[in-house]
Amino acid sequence: MSGIGARFRTTLGGFVLDVDIEAPGTGVTGLFGASGSGKTTVLRCIAGLHRATDGAVRANGDVWQDDTAGVFVPPHRRGVGYVSQEADLFPHLNVRDNLRYAQRRVPPGDQSIAWDDVMAWLAVGPLLARDVPRLSGGERQRVALARALLACPKLILMDEPVSALDEPARHEVLGYLEAALDQLALPVIYVSHSLTEVARLSNQLVWLVDGRVSDTGSVSHVLGRIDFARWRGEEPGVVLEGTVKAHDEEFHLTTIDTPLGNLTIHRRAEQPGSRIRVQVNARDVSLGLAPQQASSILNELPLTVLETAELSASNCLVRLGRPERDGPVLLARITNKSRAQLSLQPGREVYARVKSVAVLD
Amino acid sequence: MAIDWRAVVVTAKLASVSTLVLLIIGTPLAWWLARTKAKARPFVEAMVAVPLVLPPTVLGFYLLILLGPGGAIGAFWESVGGPRLVFSFPGLVVGSVLYSLPFVVQPLQNSFRAVPERLLDAAATLRASPLDRFATVVFPLARPGFLTAITLGFAHTVGEFGVVLMIGGNIPGRTEVLSIALYNHVEALQYAEAHTLAAGLLLFSFVVLMVVYTLNRRFETPRL
């Protein structure tokens, strides 16, 4: 059976982790939740570093744990690439020997990832002779990633791989990471408490609350849930994936085609046809019952109200989409007064004016 | 003034064999003590450390009783064809190993404890088996601990007196080690010979410790 399945129950000092996670056989699955929700423990159980008492873990056909059949494959026979926040490079070896450590232990039949490719994707060639303590934080994570890939894993597990970095380094490492993952048809489980990171990289999102899976689905599906927005407590927003449609050279703009309609954004370098992810915050979406005649806002999407919910005494959140298909949605944060004046209820057709769109890159 | 070469040879042989045995027993024991969460740990730690505070003659006395032909261990040992343990070289090795055990186990245990668990986990995910992890991660990071353990184990065995006196007897060429030879010279008022041995042992101890501290400085691996 293809894909990743991880179902286990384990108790850690009073904390109960009880999850059943399904992830596709390729692509990135984001595991998102607050600190203490059990994200790291899930990864450690999948890697076999922590043994859940009652579990079943399988990865693209291999059974790694099945307690009903008494199967538990030790971590060194699983073939997982594990990248943690601390990088965990061996301090007594230089960069080259750290990488060779991984490469040398790959069984002859499993050599799926070539040394030269990893050097090219992650640009670690110039660092090879360097000692580990002489690496910057960003370089360290790149080497850790290269080491994990050179182990030719069947599954990559990443635990906050860029959380310890400052913003420029984080941006840089994420760029390398994205480029490398694009080249590989491997399943990746990516743990982070940063929603923008997860939204940028993941195809699927698992939302973990207090040791349990609260919801699983596409990024836009989970982000578009009102209870998710409420739970996060921060500025709600959604992520839409679209295709670059055309560039407008005169006004320096780019039009992208999303399932909710066209959006016009600042001129992008990407070629027409490229996939692009954008984030739209709920506070940047306003609603009207008719198209605006004269307005400075470029993006106006005809949508249908799917759900409304109060956020506070003065504000509410409106979920908008295309009712005929169960696709991505948009969230708008408006006042309760506006909701009453426009009599917004499910089924009502409105025009959503999007003031600002941020590209995730 | 003759140097008692037979005593030098017996001492060197005893210290070498004991150190080897100590490493074979001490390494897994220290690893277990460094990693276990078992309730029995303080008990085992105390057992290992007892020779640090116990007068060596006490240890020697019990060993003499236990290892002798009428003792619980000695009787069994000889019934399965083992050589006599008291007043013999094998008996000296048993006594030295017990007496020097804390000097080997404690530095090893401390250096094992300092190896971060996360590095072992990383090695495991990189397909290194438990023994492979020990050889390629634990051993290089714990090298100063091994050096200290070997040196202290060896030097402490060389410096031993009470245990050896009790269970080794005083047989020249077989169980007479340097510390005993020194004692014999003093008893016989041969002060010149006693001076030679005493100064030799002092110099040896100092040089050994100098070498350890110098090497330990060089081995200091950069830590993250």
Q: Which residues of A touch B111 (CB under 8 A)?
A: none
Is the confidence at residue A221, as pLDDT, over 70? yes
- The per-residue pLDDT for A72 is 94
Closest CA to A284 of A332, A319, A321, A224: A332
Q: Which residues, 6 or more positions from B77, have their beta carbon under 8 angstroms from its beta carbon? A: B67, B85
Q: Tell me the one-letter amino acid at B53.
A: V
What's the mean per-residue pLDDT of chain B?
89
What's the mean per-residue pLDDT of chain A?
90
Closest CA–CA distance from residue A86 to any residue of chain B (Å): 9
- The per-residue pLDDT for B191 is 92
Cα distance between residue A176 and residue A56, in whole Å: 33
Question: Do A77 and B127 lie within an 8 Å CB cutoff?
Answer: yes
User: What is the percentage of chain B residues whose pLDDT exceeds 90?
Assistant: 51
Is the confidence at residue B3, as pLDDT, over 70? no
- Whether A104 and chain B come into contact, CB under 8 Å, resolves to no
User: Which positions 136-195 of A are in contact with B (Cβ < 8 Å)?
Assistant: 147-148, 151
Question: Do A78 and B125 lie within an 8 Å CB cutoff?
Answer: yes
Q: Are B147 and B215 in contact (CB under 8 A)?
A: yes
- Whether A79 and chain B come into contact, CB under 8 Å, resolves to yes
Closest CA to B26 of B135, B100, B120, B117: B100
Candidates B121, B128, B140; nearest CB to A92: B140
Is the confidence at residue B93, as pLDDT, over 80? yes
Q: Which residues of B touch A92 (CB under 8 A)?
A: 140-141, 221
Closest CA–CA distance from residue A89 to any residue of chain B (Å): 7
Q: Which residues, 6 or more positions from A6, have their beta carbon under 8 angstroms from its beta carbon? A: A19, A20, A21, A23, A42, A45, A46, A55, A56, A57
| Overall average pLDDT of the B116-133 stretch | 96
Question: Do B222 and A91 lie within an 8 Å CB cutoff?
Answer: yes
Closest CA to A212 of A76, A14, A15: A15
Q: Testing the interface with B: which of A101, A106, A189 to mutate, by most B Cβ within 10 A?
A: A101
Q: Give residue A361's pLDDT band: very low, low, confident or very high (50, 70, 90).
A: confident
Q: Give residue B68's pLDDT band: very low, low, confident or very high (50, 70, 90).
A: confident
Cα distance between residue B119 and residue B133, in whole Å: 9
State pLDDT tens for residues A300-317: 999 999 989 888 889 999
- The per-residue pLDDT for A331 is 92
Q: Which residues, 6 or more positions from B158, have their beta carbon under 8 angstroms from its beta carbon? A: B11, B15, B177, B178, B179, B201, B204, B205
Candidates B126, B136, B221; nearest CB to A91: B221
Q: Which chain B residue shows the shortest CA-CA distance from A146?
A: B126
The pair of structure tokens assigned to A4 is: 């990743």
Is the confidence at residue B222, as pLDDT, over 80? no
Question: Do A76 and B221 lie within an 8 Å CB cutoff?
Answer: no
User: String of b and e for A296-309 (b: at least 16 CB within 10 Å)?
Assistant: eebbbbebbbbbbe
Which has more confidence, A327 or A153?
A153
Question: Do A49 and B124 lie within an 8 Å CB cutoff?
Answer: yes
Q: Give residue A36's pLDDT band: very low, low, confident or very high (50, 70, 90).
A: confident
Q: Give residue B220's pLDDT band: very low, low, confident or very high (50, 70, 90).
A: low
Question: Do B223 and A88 lie within an 8 Å CB cutoff?
Answer: no
The residue to which tokens 């286990």 are assigned: A8
Beta bridge partners of A114: none
| Overall average pLDDT of the B1-24 stretch | 87
Candidates A75, A88, A133; nearest CB to B119: A88
Q: Which residues of A touch B124 (CB under 8 A)?
A: 48-49, 74-76
Cα distance between residue B221 and residue A4, in whole Å: 40
Cα distance between residue A76 and residue B37, in whole Å: 23
- The per-residue pLDDT for B35 is 92
- The per-residue pLDDT for A1 is 59
- The per-residue pLDDT for B81 is 84
How many contacts (CB atoms, under 8 Å) link A and B? 74
Which has more confidence, B12 or B171?
B12
Q: Which chain A residue shows the shortest CA-CA distance from B122?
A: A88
- Predicted complex ipTM: 0.84
Closest CA–CA distance from residue A32 to any residue of chain B (Å): 22
State pLDDT tens for residues A154-199: 999 999 999 989 989 998 999 999 888 888 889 999 999 888 888 8
DSSP string, A216-274: EEEHHHHHT-HHHHHHH-S--EEEEEEEEEEEETTTTEEEEEETTEEEEEE--SSPTT-
pTM: 0.84
| Overall average pLDDT of the A292-298 stretch | 80
User: Which positions 20-59 of A are in contact with B (Cβ < 8 Å)?
Assistant: 47-49
Q: Which residues, 6 or more positions from B127, have their beta carbon under 8 angstroms from its beta carbon? A: A76, A77, A79, A102, A105, A106, A107, A151
Q: Which chain B residue shows the shortest CA-CA distance from A136?
A: B224
Is the confidence at residue B219, as pLDDT, over 70? no
- The per-residue pLDDT for B224 is 41
Cα distance between residue A137 and residue A290, in whole Å: 52
Q: Which residues of A touch B122 (CB under 8 A)?
A: 82, 84, 88-90
Is the confidence at residue B223, as pLDDT, over 80? no
- The per-residue pLDDT for A193 is 85
Q: Which residues of A touch B118 (CB under 8 A)?
A: 84, 86, 88
